[in-house]
């Protein structure tokens, strides 16, 4: 069986999935696994396509001190116990800067270019690159593909990606990039099967997970995003504040004496739903809580989504559909209903019964704006991109690895 390994490496976990290569460029998920607790309580867990458990084992902390070690243990498990030797590896890489508007086959030169973006995504990019480097060293002939969260947004009009700062800084890369692009791309590629006419029009997609953003799609291409230079901007998230006056950052430095790294950690880890509620970054806990601060955090989350939807509708000069995706968007009946209320002025009327049963179309038949729930699948997008780059390589010879 020809397979593709998809890797999504973070600071303390490496998520991986195995896809089999089917005919006509299609892929099918076979294994979903992760090594988490890296550097604290490492644990390898994996399930098969039907959810059947394949592995659940703990490791001593010294056996898996970092991401490359986790990658190597997971790789050994795949090779020696599951007998899988992937023909290629697709990686989720958060930042492709303005250089990359599509996935790329990795070599040492690509890694060097991607290292330049570490400062733009300090909590993600180094961990994304770590397994790439170790695989390049240990398996130099294994094709690796980098798939970027930023690439899908490179179709924006130039003006959309500027900040009003001196041009020289824009030229250096201080500009809006947008993130969650693999998720939006998956939704954009899925919509034509669900609603072909709407997919050709103006659609807002709300990716509401532990990270959250919204994307304005015009004819299936990204026209605008709520995220900018880093994944801090836009909507309130689990632990990130979303849009915040830069004056607040100056205040934290000048009046609270915080260093740049303190501010960084504060903005990425202590704000958002967690900071505002003082309870949790998990929407499920907030929904279950009677605490007024939990209610405020939810109200803020929903209110800002409404505001940003107005902004994106203006960017699109109208709206033909609204789509929910990711953890909160796919699962929370109540949050979807509250957001739909915020969007009533745009012509959204939800069907409560369809919303409760998580139907694909959750708006009423007379809603001027149809509202869909489209479960995202970033890993499948990465597997498809990886296969397509392999198939387009002149030297590619299927069956011979
Ligand atoms: P993601 O980053 O897309 O995996 O989304 C993770 C987030 O989705 C979690 O932190 C939860 O806040 C949220 N979530 C998942 N399931 C539910 C649910 N049933 N109700 C509300 N929020 C949920």
Res 400 pLDDT > 50: no
pLDDT of residue 1: 86
- C-beta 331 within 6 A of ligand 1: yes
Question: Which residues are registered as beta bridge partners of 215?
Answer: 205, 225
Res 396 pLDDT > 70: no
pLDDT digits (tens, 9 = 90+) for 325-372: 999 999 999 999 999 999 999 999 999 999 999 999 999 999 999 999
**Which of 332, 334, 376 to mutate to test ligand 1, by most ligand atoms within 8 A of the CB atom?**
332
Q: Pick from 397, 401, 301, 386: which is nearest to 25 by CA?
A: 386
pLDDT of residue 257: 98
Average pLDDT over residues 192-219: 97
Both tokens of 209, joined, read 């997970």
Q: Which fold has domain 196-378?
A: Nucleotidyltransferase; domain 5 (3.30.420)
Res 46 pLDDT > 90: yes
Ligand 1 centroid to residue 282 C-alpha, Å: 7
pLDDT digits (tens, 9 = 90+) for 65-118: 888 899 989 999 999 999 999 999 999 999 999 889 999 999 999 999 999 999
Domain range annotation of the chain = 3-148, 196-378
Query: Which residue's C-alpha comes closest to atom 20 of ligand 1?
Result: 332
Query: Which residue's C-alpha comes closest to atom 15 of ligand 1?
Result: 327
- C-beta 326 within 6 A of ligand 1: yes
- C-beta 232 within 6 A of ligand 1: no
Query: Which residue's C-alpha comes closest to atom 10 of ligand 1?
Result: 282
191 contacts 198 by C-beta, under 8 angstroms: yes
Ligand 1 centroid to residue 233 C-alpha, Å: 20
Res 398 pLDDT > 60: no
Ligand 1 centroid to residue 7 C-alpha, Å: 21
Confidence of residue 395 (pLDDT cuts 50, 70, 90): low
- C-beta 327 within 6 A of ligand 1: yes
pLDDT digits (tens, 9 = 90+) for 232-272: 999 999 999 999 999 999 999 999 999 999 999 999 999 99
Q: For residue 376, give the ligand 1 atom closest to its CA.
A: 3
Taking the C-alpha atoms of residue 4 and residue 184, their distance in angstroms, rounded to an integer, is: 22
Share of the chain above pLDDT 70, in %: 98
CATH architecture of 3-148: 2-Layer Sandwich (3.30)
Res 45 pLDDT > 80: yes
pLDDT digits (tens, 9 = 90+) for 125-137: 999 999 999 999 9
Ligand 1 centroid to residue 334 C-alpha, Å: 12
Three-point CA angle 168, 171, 173, nearest 5°: 120
Helix axes 125-138, 67-76, angle to 10 degrees: 50
pLDDT of residue 218: 98
Res 303 pLDDT > 60: yes
- C-beta 272 within 6 A of ligand 1: no
pLDDT of residue 401: 39
| Domains 3-148 and 196-378 belong to one CATH topology | yes
Average pLDDT, the chain: 95
Residues known to be catalytic? 149
């Amino acid at each position: 069986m020809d397979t593709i390994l998809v890797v999504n490496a973070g600071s303390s976990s490496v998520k991986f999935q195995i896809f089999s290569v089917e005919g006509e460029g299609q892929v099918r998920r076979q294994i979903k696994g992760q090594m988490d607790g890296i550097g604290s309580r490492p644990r390898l867990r994996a399930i098969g396509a039907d959810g059947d458990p394949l592995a659940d084992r703990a490791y001593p902390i010294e056996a898996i001190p970092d991401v490359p070690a986790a990658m190597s243990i997971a790789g050994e498990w795949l090779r020696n116990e599951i007998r899988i030797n992937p023909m290629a590896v697709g990686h989720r890489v958060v930042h492709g800067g303005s250089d990359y508007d599509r996935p790329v086959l990795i070599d040492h030169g690509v890694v060097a270019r991607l290292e330049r973006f570490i400062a733009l995504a300090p909590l993600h990019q180094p961990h994304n690159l770590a397994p790439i480097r170790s695989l390049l060293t240990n398996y130099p002939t294994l094709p690796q593909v980098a798939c970027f969260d930023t690439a899908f947004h490179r179709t924006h009009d130039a003006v959309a990606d500027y900040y009003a700062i001196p041009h020289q800084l824009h030229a250096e890369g201080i500009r809006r990039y947008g993130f969650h692009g693999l998720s939006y791309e998956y939704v954009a590629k899925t919509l034509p099967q669900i609603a072909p006419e709407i997919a050709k029009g103006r659609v807002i997609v709300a990716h509401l997970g532990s990270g959250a953003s919204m994307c304005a799609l015009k004819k299936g291409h990204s026209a605008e995003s709520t995220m900018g230079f880093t994944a801090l901007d836009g909507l309130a998230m689990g632990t990130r504040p979303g849009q915040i006056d830069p004056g607040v950052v100056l205040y934290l430095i000048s009046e609270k004496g915080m260093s740049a790294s303190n501010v960084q950690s504060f903005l990425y880890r202590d704000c958002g739903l967690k900071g505002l509620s003082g309870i949790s970054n998990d929407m499920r806990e907030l929904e279950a809580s009677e605490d007024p601060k939990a209610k405020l955090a939810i109200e803020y989350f929903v209110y800002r989504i409404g505001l940003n939807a107005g902004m994106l509708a203006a960017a699109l000069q109208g709206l033909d559909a609204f789509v929910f995706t990711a953890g909160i968007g796919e699962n929370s009946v109540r949050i979807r209903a509250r957001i739909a209320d915020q969007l009533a002025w745009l012509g959204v009327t939800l069907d409560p019964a369809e919303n409760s049963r998580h139907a694909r179309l959750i708006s009423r038949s007379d809603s001027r704006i149809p509202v869909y729930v489209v479960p995202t699948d970033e890993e499948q997008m990465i597997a498809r991109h990886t296969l397509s780059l392999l198939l387009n390589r002149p030297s590619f010879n299927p069956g011979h690895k």
